[in-house]
Amino acid sequence: MKKVVKGILLFLIIAMIAVLLYIKIALPNVGEMEYLSIKPTASLLERGKYLANNVCVCVDCHSTRNWNEFSGPPVDGTIGKGGEVFDQRFGFPGSFYSKNITPSGIGDWTDAEILRAIASGVSKDGDALFPIMPHPHFGQMDKKDLEAIIVYLRSLKPIENIVPESKADFPMNFIINTIPKEAHFSSKPSESDAVAYGAYLFNAASCSECHSKQEKGKPIVGMELAGGFEFPMMTRGIARSSNITQDEVTGIGKWSEADFVKRFKSYTDSTYVSAKVIKGNFNTVMPWTMYGGMKEQDLKAIYAYLKTIKPIRNSVEKFSNP
For every residue of 138-207, which 3-state class applies, written as one string? HCCCEHHHHHHHHHHHHHCCCCCCCCCCCEECCCHHHHHHHCCCCCCCECCCCCCCHHHHHHHHHHHCCH
Is 80 among the domain residues?
yes
Q: Which helix (H) or strand (E) holds 61?
A: helix 58-61
What pLDDT does residue 5 have?
Answer: 67
Residues 311 and 279 occupy one common structural domain: yes
Give the separation between CA 167 and CA 56, rounded to whole angstroms: 25
- Whether 96 and 54 map to the same domain: the answer is yes
203 and 321 fall within a common domain: yes
Amino acid at 321: N
Q: Are residues 175 and 233 in the same domain?
A: no
Side chain identity, residue 209 = E
Banded model confidence at residue 21, pLDDT cuts 50, 70, 90: confident
Spell out the residues 6+ positions from residue 206 whose beta carbon is closer than 8 angstroms to its own.
Answer: 56, 134, 137, 138
Of 63, 72, 60, 92, whose CA–CA distance to 234 is shortest?
72
53 and 96 assigned to the same domain: yes
Res. 202 pLDDT band, cuts 50 70 90: very high
Whether 168 and 203 map to the same domain: the answer is no
Residue 315: CB atoms within 10 A of its CB come to 12
Which residue range forms the structural domain that includes residue 308? 190-322
In a domain? residue 9: no
- Give the C-alpha distances (Å, rounded to integers) separating 57 from 80, 173, 178, 207, 245: 11, 27, 25, 11, 22
Find the range with the poorest average confidence among 8-12, 23-27, 139-143, 315-319.
8-12
Nearest Cα to Cα of residue 242 among 286, 187, 195: 286
Rg (Cα) of the chain, in Å, rounded?
A: 21
Q: What is the mean pLDDT of residues 76-82?
A: 97
Same domain for 52 and 146, yes or no, is yes
Instruction: Please give the C-alpha separations between residue 249 and each of 90, 116, 253, 315, in angstroms, as whole numbers.
Output: 30, 42, 7, 8
Distances (CA, A) of 220 to 156, 216, 224, 225, 249: 38, 9, 7, 10, 21
Judge whether 169 lies within some domain.
Answer: yes
What is the mean pLDDT of the segment spanning 274-299?
95
Q: In the structure, what pLDDT confidence band is assigned to residue 262 with cuts at 50, 70 and 90?
A: very high
Residue 229 CB contacts under 8 Å (≥ 6 apart), including other chains: 210, 211, 212, 213, 214, 240, 241
Its pTM surpasses 0.75: yes
Are 91 and 130 a contacting pair, CB within 8 Å?
no
Query: If DSSP codes are grouped into helix, strand and coil, which group holds residue 7?
Result: helix
pLDDT at 17: 83
In this structure, the answer to whether residues 47 and 179 fall within a common structural domain is yes
**230: β partners:** 240
Q: pLDDT class for 7, splitting at 50, 70, 90?
A: confident
Which of the four pLDDT bands, split at 50, 70 and 90, describes residue 121?
very high
CA gap 43, 106 in Å, rounded: 22
Q: Could you tell me if 211 and 243 lie in one domain? A: yes
Beta bridge partners of 240: 230
pLDDT bin (cut points 50, 70, 90) of residue 184 is: very high
Number of domains present in the structure of the chain: 2
Please report whether residue 10 resides in a domain.
Answer: no
| Whether residue 124 sits in one domain with residue 211 | no
More confident residue, 185 or 26: 185
Boundary of a domain, candidates 188, 209, 231: 188
Residue 160: predicted pLDDT: 97
All residues at 6 or more sequence positions from 149 whose CB lies less than 8 Å from its CB, including other chains? 48, 51, 52, 56, 58, 118
Residue 253 lies in a domain: yes
User: How far is it, in rounded angstroms, from Cα 261 to Cα 194?
Assistant: 14
* pLDDT at 112 exceeding the cut of 70: yes
pLDDT computed for residue 90 by the predictor = 87
Closest CA to 28 of 171, 125, 99: 125
Could you tell me if 196 and 175 lie in one domain?
A: no
